[in-house]
Amino acid sequence: MSANRRFRNVTRIGPVQVATSHDGRGREKHTAACAAPRCGFSADYDSRAAAELAARTHRCPVR
């Protein structure tokens, strides 16, 4: 899996960033990743709505 992705359509919802990219097979993927220190949350989704829902409902375990 390539770690060098080109992200587009990046938005921020609280501490979580949601972005769109293409995976190694050319399919569109949507990523939600928390930018808070020591959180470590990130996940890939097939739809933008799912990634934004995960960003809205994410609660950082580290405070």
| d(C-alpha 38, C-alpha 22), whole Å | 26
Q: For every residue of 4-57, which 3-state class applies, written as one string? A: CCCCEEEEEECCEEEEEEECCCCCEEEEEEECCCCCCCEEEECCHHHHHHHHHH
* Furthest-apart CA atoms within the chain: distance in Å: 37
What is the tens place of the pLDDT at every residue in 12-61?
Answer: 999 999 999 988 888 999 999 999 999 999 999 999 999 999 999 999 88
| d(C-alpha 49, C-alpha 63), whole Å | 27
0.85 surpassed by pTM: no
